[in-house]
Structure 1
Amino acid sequence: MGSEVMGVPSDSEFMEALGSVPEATEYDPDVWRVETPIGDSGALLVLSFDIGGSSIRLTRESANGSDIEIYREEVRRILVYSEGGGRGIIVESHMSSFTCELRVAIHPQFRLLDTTLRVGI
């Protein structure tokens, strides 16, 4: 698992689904960050990811600060989607005997679904 490279969408896929593209962070050029508005709420969804480290951090931020912050390691891939009027992010990760899928809808409204399933032993 450790030798796999985390899959990430292309800049054009990010732009189509989220309306912005990731940029390298100032503090670590290996960590990328993309921000996108959540519907018409005024809140932002911020996705930071480290391809070499196979990790992500996802936060929901508003004028009152962050109210959701999720961190994942052993991320296999990040997907973005824009279909049927909905837009969002999917993060797939696999850890020993578990597979996890984090789905975040950002339009037309915010929805978070985090599933963890045990796989064959």
Structure 2
Amino acid sequence: MADGTLRLTTIIPKGWLTRMSDIGVPAEGDFMEAFGATPVLLAGGEATYLVEVASGGRELLLSYDVVERSVRVKIRDGAMDSVDLYYEGLDTISLTGGGSTAGLTVTLSGTGYLVRVHVAVFPILGIRSEVLAG
């Protein structure tokens, strides 16, 4: 985009999901231990949570909805979003590493596809996305 922001939206039809069980997300205490932040229920949402973490002069905003099975990952540099990823069809959010190398992985899967979004939070905030089709 002209403002230097990377925006990627992937919409995976809910009918493609092979597993309709509840999504797997870390417990509130696990977020606190890994990042020093806990998920906050957003006003007006029955199951939409936001986790905000500052790292290396940048900010990670992770929002997820356990009913709608969606996730948004933003990386903000000051007042500008430098990365804005949105996915539907959320399967799991898992924490990786720990302490000075903490991060998380968001996984979405279904018939014929697998999406993994790896977010390094510490020591430097960064993101890598994999889309695999079968």
- The one-letter code sitting in structure 2 at the alignment partner of 1:54 is R
Distance in 2, matches of 1:60 and 1:52, equals 24
When structure 1 is superposed on structure 2, of 65-74 and 110-119 the one drifting more is 110-119
Question: Partner residue of 2:20?
Answer: 3
Q: Measure how far apart 1:84 and its partner are.
A: 6.6
- The one-letter code sitting in structure 2 at the alignment partner of 1:24 is L
Q: Bigger relative contact order, structure 1 or 2, given CA contacts below 8 A and separation 6+?
A: 2
Per-residue Cα deviation, 1:95-114 (whole angstroms, up to 9, x for no partner): 43110110010111122111
Question: Quick check: which one's strand share is greater?
Answer: 1
Matches within 5 A, 1:9-28: 9-28=26-45
Unaligned runs of 5+ in 1: none
- Pairing 1:110–2:131 present: no
TM-score (norm 1): 0.87
TM-score (norm 2): 0.80
2:121 counterpart SS class: strand
1:100 to 109, 112, 115: 115
Show structure 1 runs of 4+ deviating over 4 A.
none
- Pairing 1:46–2:61 present: yes
Q: Measure how far apart 1:24 and its partner are.
A: 0.6
